[in-house]
Amino acid sequence: MKGFSKLLSIEGIWLILLLTVSSQAHADTSHLQLTSSYSVLGSPTVSAAFINQVLASNHSPAAGKGQALFDDGIKYGVDPVFALAFFLHESSFGTTGVAQFTLSLGNLRCIPGFPCADGFTWFPTWEAGF
């Protein structure tokens, strides 16, 4: 049962992300693959183009920054789909809340070496906030 709930969790993330793509856009999902394990670590299961499509269709101020988010995933060994899911959950892809001003994917609390206001780290660019 535990494995089944993990599978449902990853499928839920995919469903949320796929539903955010505009109904007018016909996404090529042939490159997508679901796995039965639940780990944020691993190879990308989405492309930079898919990330850009999701951000653009949701009118994100980070639209066009999908390659940076993808590259960070590669750099740190994290599947970028999880970062995208966090971005959706935390701020609707930067369209709501404090992320509109902090340029932070995950509404990060103060981090040494970065400007901080109202308890949140402020980044100079979306790329830095990824």
What pTM was computed for the model?
A: 0.71
pLDDT digits (tens, 9 = 90+) for 24-46: 344 455 555 655 566 888 899 99
State residue 40's pLDDT score.
Answer: 83
State residue 16's pLDDT score.
Answer: 56
Ranges of residues in the chain whose predicted pLDDT is under 50: 1-8, 19, 21-27
State residue 8's pLDDT score.
Answer: 42
List C-alpha distances in Å: 90 to 2, 26, 30, 95: 26, 26, 28, 10
For residues 27 and 61, the answer to whether their CB atoms sit within 8 Å is no
State residue 96's pLDDT score.
Answer: 97
